[in-house]
Structure 1
Amino acid sequence: MDTDRLPGCYRHPDRDTGIRCTRCERPICPECMISASVGFQCPECVRAGSGTGHQPTANAPRTIAGGVVAADPHLVTKILIGINVLVFLAVLSDPALAVQMELIGRYREFEYLVGPVRGVSAGEYHRLLTSVFLHIEWWHIIGNMIGLWVIGGPLEAALGRVRYLAVFLLSGLGGSALVYLLSEPNVPTLGASGAVFGLLGATVVLAKRLRYEMRPVIVMVVLMLVLTFVPLGGALTVSWQAHVGGLVTGALVGLGMLMPTAGRHRALVQWGTCAVAFLLAAMLILIRTAELT
């Protein structure tokens, strides 16, 4: 018998956790834990202590990162998947849309489809984020959406909607910035994998913060990086720049979101970290633009 194993969440027995409800002392996982004035409480204790009426937002149950606990803890993940699927279907009906959204530094080959395609270096900065929602192959979008659901759903429940969305968008931007900096300017890049890797980076921070068994998470990161750098043959080309850029950005923002900082300073640290991540990405983008113009 393994006596060192952490107990399972009382609502999700397959999820090991080192956190217990401060009122009933039952083990609780990130999806179940609700931030209280001291420690965390389970949903049942929160309901028992607050009654059945509606709570003001200021007094609403909070996630480990300080976000409001939502009725549907996976809503943003579902919306992001929906946006990706809608864009995929739109591109199927109008291939020219992909040319307008893909990440390219300087490119002109498809002028006959959409007119001049100038690229990021000529001011089309929207491509840095629109490319994150763009897929043109069915296997590509299926793989990324499975990763977004499996990794993103639990992370959204732990961070709350706004903070989770910030991690996703900044990770996508960070991945695009590194692609723009290190890739050939006329090679198009697209897909949500950079943002998904960012969610994985934040998940590593979350697991460490909650004192989870780190080996499964580290194994997942290593496996994902192996798939990034080891050629698989065929027509599949993986952008390691997007994966590494997203992973590093997500881990950085996750550190800010989950830093155990005292009350009133927490929001300042969290959004200050987001601002730093954005400025670092912007700096890389400006450096590359200066090289190409």
Structure 2
Amino acid sequence: MIIPWGTDAPIYHRPYATIAVMIACVLVFAADPYHRHTEWMLALGDGIHPVQWVTNIFMHADIMHLLGNLLFLWAFGIIVEGKLGAIGFLAVYLAMGVFQSGSIQLLADPAGSQHMLGASGAIYGLMALCMIWAPRNDLYCVVILSGFMRLLIFQPEIPILWFAAFYIAWEVLVASLTSASVQALAVSSALAHASGALGGVIVGLVLLKFDLVDCEGWDLLSRMKHGRTGTMNKTSKRTPHRSMVEKVQKKVAKAKKAKAAGEAPDLVALRTLRGHLDADETEAAMGFYRSTRRRLKGWRPPDPERVDLIKALVAAQAWDDAVGVMQAYLDESNLPSPKIRLKLAEVLIRRLDRPVAGLRTLERVGETDLPSNLVDGRRKLVALAEQIRDEGVLELDAEVQPI
């Protein structure tokens, strides 16, 4: 069994639509696990029903059918959406699902089958798109083999071209043999997969032809034209979002390198945090800061890094995280800045409606501790906090928990 789960392909758009389609498939299955609503499946031999061309691709026969499709949808969906964005991804996904479903309902011989359902036809379309648009990128896979009373597990990186070509060719062969045996275009899962892949090939080539997708010269047609050692047709100014796999691999590689060099874990953590901050990766920086604080007990990043993290969180309006980091900074710094304490009070009062916590914070910074240009700001915050408190705002916890 081969399970694809990630890729090294550049991702220029976060996979919001891919996740939304996956959630929709799960919700549809949960809403009708016993398939009572056959009117939403793809009816065979009962006329033309265009609405079913869309609805059936969100339905699945059983839990294993659903889970298998979700894995492949994730692996190939993030690549396609990474190039097209959410709207473009949804458009091509639905187009390929409609093409596959409509072709079968219009042209195939039911041969006794009454209904079909499943997203695999559209997923094979995504697979074909990836084969054309990103043939030299790799899929991260888990391969599980059983034999001699044991399980063998491998984690290879398989080129998308070979992975997709094998799966598509196999389904085309099976569909051809099945249809040849009955001398008609026989309905089968292989036919659904093959027709979905055909839709993907058509969509992929059309979008390339009209320059509606930027593959940076690494698509299959460009590589065939310029050869394996040719240069890219054009460069892209876009910066890809690093995938979760790439981030983890990079961190592991850094940790191994540091360990081999005998570098202290806290220095490795500091360099990683600094790297996230310098790259404006606020969410990644906060996640790393939080996890490292749990993993390395007593780890305290230097004041400059923690202040930069606070500034990034405030700019991103991540108020709860900003408050926790500010409180930790004030508790642990040898020479905490009164400006940070004033900023903490401002966020508590103005952003989080926590006047009591804000007043307690302001009590610890007197007017004599502040530059003259900030004294008036402190007085205004005190007045605002007292006004909000007197209005009866419910505040369950006046203590600020450090992060």
Number of residues paired by the alignment? 176
Q: Distance in 2 between matches of 1:145 and 1:213?
A: 19
SS in 2 for 1:96: coil
Contact 2:168 2:197 in 1 (8 A): no
Deviation at residue 130 of structure 1 after TM alignment: 0.9
- State the partner residue of 2:133: 206
Matched, 1:96 2:46: no
Amino acid corresponding to residue 193 of structure 2 in structure 1:
H
Matched, 1:191 2:118: yes
Using a 3 Å threshold, how does the CA distance of structure 1 residues 238 and 216 change in structure 2: closer, same or farther? farther
Q: Distance in 1 between matches of 2:11 and 2:209?
A: 18
Structure whose residues are more often strand by fraction: 2
SS in 1 for 2:134: helix
Amino acid corresponding to residue 132 of structure 1 in structure 2:
I
Deviation at residue 124 of structure 1 after TM alignment: 2.9
Once the two structures are superposed, the pairs formed by residues 42-81 of structure 1 within 5 Å of their partners are 69=13, 73-81=14-22
TM-score by length of 1: 0.53
Q: Deviations over 1:271-292 (max 9, x none)?
A: xxxxxxxxxxxxxxxxxxxxxx
Q: Distance in 2 between matches of 1:249 and 1:243?
A: 10
Amino acid corresponding to residue 192 of structure 2 in structure 1:
A
After TM superposition, the structure 1 stretch with the greater mean CA deviation from structure 2, 129-138 or 176-185, is 176-185
Matched, 1:126 2:57: no
RMSD after superposition:
3.0
Using a 3 Å threshold, how does the CA distance of structure 1 residues 238 and 141 change in structure 2: closer, same or farther? farther
Deviation at residue 105 of structure 1 after TM alignment: 2.6
Matched, 1:257 2:182: no
State the percentage of identical aligned residues: 27
Matched, 1:166 2:105: no
Higher relative contact order (CA 8 A, sep 6+): 1
Deviation at residue 132 of structure 1 after TM alignment: 0.7
Deviation at residue 176 of structure 1 after TM alignment: 0.9
Deviation at residue 225 of structure 1 after TM alignment: 3.2
Larger radius of gyration: 2
The one of 44, 48, 53 aligned to 1:105: 44
Deviation at residue 255 of structure 1 after TM alignment: 1.9
TM-score by length of 2: 0.39
The one of 239, 247, 250 aligned to 2:197: 247
Contact 1:178 1:241 in 2 (8 A): no
Using a 3 Å threshold, how does the CA distance of structure 1 residues 197 and 207 change in structure 2: closer, same or farther? same
Q: Distance in 2 between matches of 1:186 and 1:127?
A: 19
Amino acid corresponding to residue 165 of structure 1 in structure 2:
L
- State the partner residue of 1:58: none
Q: Distance in 2 between matches of 1:124 and 1:207?
A: 35
Matched, 1:223 2:166: yes
Q: Any gaps of 5 or more consecutive residues in structure 1?
A: 1-11, 16-28, 33-68, 107-118, 232-236, 268-293
Deviation at residue 85 of structure 1 after TM alignment: 0.4
Contact 2:131 2:165 in 1 (8 A): no
Deviation at residue 204 of structure 1 after TM alignment: 1.6
Deviation at residue 127 of structure 1 after TM alignment: 1.4
